[in-house]
Amino acid sequence: MKAILTPDISPAMGLVIFNPSKELLPLFQNGRVVISPELPHLKHVVSGPIPHAKQPLAIKRGLSSFFAADEVIKKLGGVGMLVQHVKELAQGQCQATEEDDDKFHYHRFCELHTECGVVWLCHHHDNHYRNHGATEALNELAQTQRIEWIITRIIQALGKDPDHILSLQELCWWAFTHGAAHFLSDYVMREAAGAVTRTEAIKSEYKESETTVDSYDDNYSYLTDCCSKYAIHQPE
């Protein structure tokens, strides 16, 4: 558990007083606590328990092929671990979506593998979806749970706290070190490297006046290196 608390500072006495709510008292039962400045993404969060971190990369443009790759699942522990994660999320409940008119649930459960991921269903709804196909809402739930699990596993692999917000650079680092970088788009890798990403459409032909150079210094260094390598005379 983590929390945001507003201090009451008494400079003359050298004291800082916090007034946590009753639900936050277990934070102090073990004696020592870690205090850190407020992080930028928490500036608009009210005082009290810090809510579960939302992962911006879950909806990041350009990562769909990475999250959809079965090879990424294998490298993070396999589909069996994903199924266990979904089962724990379901907490003994059928994940049949609210759009279903049939509210009957059987007392036994199993996983259903859709084209987007895994969901946990009772045997009654499992038979229904296997015969009629998964709905759009069910596929969306399966995809969401798949992406959440991938991000969670990468955070664990990097040795971060469970509520750590995964950055694009960290995701790319994991992908490169585990042989999954080919699932990342060029756009994503350029952004992670801090390179300027072209947003306008790339044309097949350009006028000379439309061409630009990212860095004249870099290009000059490259040219001089080539000249030196091939013993080409460089102008004074």
CA distances from 137 to 2, 75, 190, 193 (A): 33, 27, 33, 35
Mean pLDDT of 69-84: 95
- Comparing CA positions, the residue from 55, 215, 232 lying closest to residue 150 is 55
Report the distance separating Cα 111 and Cα 85, nearest Å. 11
- Give pLDDT, residue 227: 45
- Comparing CA positions, the residue from 206, 171, 215 lying closest to residue 192 is 171
Mean pLDDT of 11-35: 86
* Residue 146: CB atoms within 10 Å: 23
- Give pLDDT, residue 124: 85
Q: How many CA atoms lie within 13 A of 7 on its CB side?
A: 11
pLDDT tens track for 195-231: 755 555 556 676 777 665 544 444 444 444 444 444 4
- pLDDT averaged over the chain? 80
Token duo for residue 137:
């809402």
Helices (H), the chain: 64-68, 70-75, 79-90, 123-132, 136-157, 168-177, 186-192, 216-229
Mean pLDDT of 68-92: 93
- Give pLDDT, residue 28: 85
Three-state secondary structure call for residue 63? coil
Three-state secondary structure call for residue 163? coil
- Give pLDDT, residue 210: 66
Give whichever of 44-58, 107-121, 186-200 has the largest mean pLDDT.
107-121
The residue ranking higher by pLDDT, 216 or 194, is 194
- Give pLDDT, residue 236: 44
Three-state secondary structure call for residue 22? helix
pLDDT tens track for 99-158: 556 677 777 889 889 889 999 888 888 888 888 888 888 888 899 999 999 999 999 999
Report the distance separating Cα 48 and Cα 194, nearest Å. 35
The residue ranking higher by pLDDT, 1 or 178, is 178
- Give pLDDT, residue 215: 46
Report the distance separating Cα 146 and Cα 160, nearest Å. 20
Q: Using a pLDDT cut of 70, give the percent of the chain over it.
A: 77
Token duo for residue 111:
């996983």
Contact 86, 119 (CB under 8 A): yes
- Comparing CA positions, the residue from 38, 31, 55, 40 lying closest to residue 3 is 38
